[in-house]
Chain A
Amino acid sequence: MVLSTTERYYLLECLSGSKVIRADARRVDQFRPVEATCSFLPNSNGSSRVRLPDGSECIASVKAKVVKVESSEVTDLLNVEVDINGQRDDAEAVVSFSSILKESLAQCIPESLLKLTEKYAFELSIDAIVISYPSGISSFYSILTLVSMAVYLALKSTSLPLLTSTTEDAEVEEEPTFSDDWDLAKLLFPKDRLLAPPLLFVLAMVGPNLLLDPSVEELEVAENGLFVGFASNKAGAPIRSISLNSTNNKGLSTNHILDAVSTVDSVGGSVLKALNSIVENSTSEF
């Protein structure tokens, strides 16, 4: 997306002043509104669809498969793939989003959640497909939060069949069997536990200001950016600085980073609550 020189100056002036005026009227700590739904894919254990006002849209699916456990590493049981429509599989954004998501998921999914019996476990295949995004965007970081929300909703809506065979099968030659009554299925992330999939929040720096969930235009003029993870109800790893555009780059100060973490800390809970209400009230329609 190319901005005209005057648009760029105007935007920069509005965003870097003492009172920040964002073009879409948001406060600095306000997200773009999203539309979301989940559980509409009958062939997946969990699924979701999330869309931003600019038309960016991500569809995510979680499929579980029973596998024999050889190692005790969670990363071996997680298969995360991001696909961005029109981008090659080895495109930078595709590769880095996949690995960022996988790392952050591996950090907050305990092995016990996937372990089925002593010998078997669920392997999760998580696919996130970005079906549309504004044309000519210079940075895909405007959709990282979107992708992480889609993955969050897909995982939150993931249900797994109830195991009917024994969990102590170390000595037994038996494959696990499941109840075929889906009413007995249990959620991967039970409602009564604090445990939740992680979210990733992008923040952009313009002058002394910090903007949560920057829009495509804001990324064009941002001087620097970073993303901060939110898991177990607090901000934390991964925290990484990101380069948002090639024209306007300045260093990141410690204050910015601390501010970013505390912003995410203060808004994260509300985001989880809003997303959870979608899971609970889902009509399972596309």
Chain B
Amino acid sequence: MSRFEIYSPEGLRVDGRRWNEIRRFECRINSHPTSSDGSSYVEQGNTKVLCLVQGPMEPALRSQSSTAQGSLIVNVSVTPFATVERNKRPRNDRRIQELSATLTRTFNKAIVLKNYPRSLIQVNLQVLALDGGLLAACTNATTLALMDAGISMYDYISSVTAGIFDGQTPLLDLNTIEENELGFLTVGVIGESEKLALLLMEDRVGMDSLEKVLAIAIAGSHRIRELMDIQVRNYGKHKVAKLANQ
């Protein structure tokens, strides 16, 4: 395969973005009102993720029931058609299981679980199309769907990826081509703070460039939080207006 020009001397990336630009971000809240307690749909570039939350509800198994706090289960399933080449993953795919575990860990801290004793919150994520930023899109979709379900959270968790080109230029919100070529990391930022609820780095990123990459990733996450917040408030206004009708 011919090597793409990841970052041109003119400062453009494969899809025409600048180094510090996120991809088109669109989201919807309450996309599945009948079949879930909370739902959302997130598009980050060509990555499309759907999230359905059930609960808080009575756990099916005693083992899921704790009197101290609620339990959280996160399931991720990547559809076989999500990637350009069809790829059916086995249900126990290690990468996907790890992804679920990472999300569970992150949201165990973000949800006010002590408010939900003897209850189960179940998050189901369906990845419909995948073009980089899998964990980031799943994190954002989960944040929105939990909010739609009226579940107490300390703050937004907004997430994006960032990589480093030639050890010099940090690039924000990578697509698949860029992810394959560059070392990158995913962050999940707590609200408007600079604190991270989530950090995942699976490739080499030079220690000297880490600060730059983190800085742009946090800025990108803040932008995504803003876009999600606008959507949530618009939805809220619509709901409040309807309520006024009563």
Chains A and B share a contact (CB less than 8 Å): yes
Contact B36 A41 (CB under 8 A): no
Q: Does residue B213 face the partner (Cβ distance < 8 Å to A)?
A: no
Contact B81 A63 (CB under 8 A): yes
Contact A127 B35 (CB under 8 A): no
A-B contacts counted at CB < 8 A amount to 63
| CB < 8 Å neighbour of A85 from B84, B124, B129 | B124
Q: Does residue A110 face the partner (Cβ distance < 8 Å to B)?
A: no
**How does the 8 Å CB contact mask read for B67-90 relative to A, with 1 for contact and 0 for none?**
000000000010111111010100
Q: Which residues does chain A contribute within 8 Å of B34, judged by CB atoms?
A: 53-55
Q: Does residue B172 face the partner (Cβ distance < 8 Å to A)?
A: no
Q: Does residue B41 face the partner (Cβ distance < 8 Å to A)?
A: yes
- Size bin of chain A's contact surface: 20 to 34
Interface residues of A in 45-71 (CB under 8 A from B): 47, 53-57, 59, 61, 63, 65
**Nearest B residue to A129 by beta-carbon distance?**
B79
Contact B35 A43 (CB under 8 A): no
Contact A127 B52 (CB under 8 A): no
Residues of B contacting A: mostly: loop
CA of A44 to CA of B80 in the docked complex: distance in angstroms?
A: 11
**Nearest A residue to B130 by beta-carbon distance?**
A43
Q: Does residue B99 face the partner (Cβ distance < 8 Å to A)?
A: no
Shortest CB distance B201–A (Å)? 26
Q: Does residue B91 face the partner (Cβ distance < 8 Å to A)?
A: yes
CA of A208 to CA of B50 in the docked complex: distance in angstroms?
A: 43
Contact A131 B86 (CB under 8 A): no
Contact A57 B35 (CB under 8 A): yes
Q: Does residue B104 face the partner (Cβ distance < 8 Å to A)?
A: no
Contact B79 A127 (CB under 8 A): yes
Q: Which residues does chain A contribute within 8 Å of B79, judged by CB atoms?
A: 59, 61, 83, 127, 129
Contact A89 B81 (CB under 8 A): no
Closest 3 CB pairs of A and B: A55-B35, A55-B34, A61-B81
B residues sitting closer than 8 Å to A (CB atoms) are 32, 34-36, 41, 43, 46, 48, 50, 52, 77, 79-84, 86, 88, 91, 124, 126, 128-131
Between A and B, 20 residue pairs with Cβ closer than 8 Å are A41-B81, A41-B128, A42-B129, A43-B83, A44-B81, A53-B34, A54-B34, A55-B34, A55-B36, A59-B128, A61-B81, A63-B81, A63-B86, A81-B80, A85-B77, A125-B81, A127-B79, A131-B52, A286-B41, A286-B128
A residues sitting closer than 8 Å to B (CB atoms) are 40-44, 47, 53-57, 59, 61, 63, 65, 81, 83, 85, 89, 125, 127, 129, 131-134, 286
11 further contact pairs, Cβ within 8 A, besides A43-B46, A125-B86? A41-B48, A41-B81, A47-B81, A55-B35, A57-B32, A61-B79, A61-B81, A125-B80, A129-B79, A132-B36, A132-B52
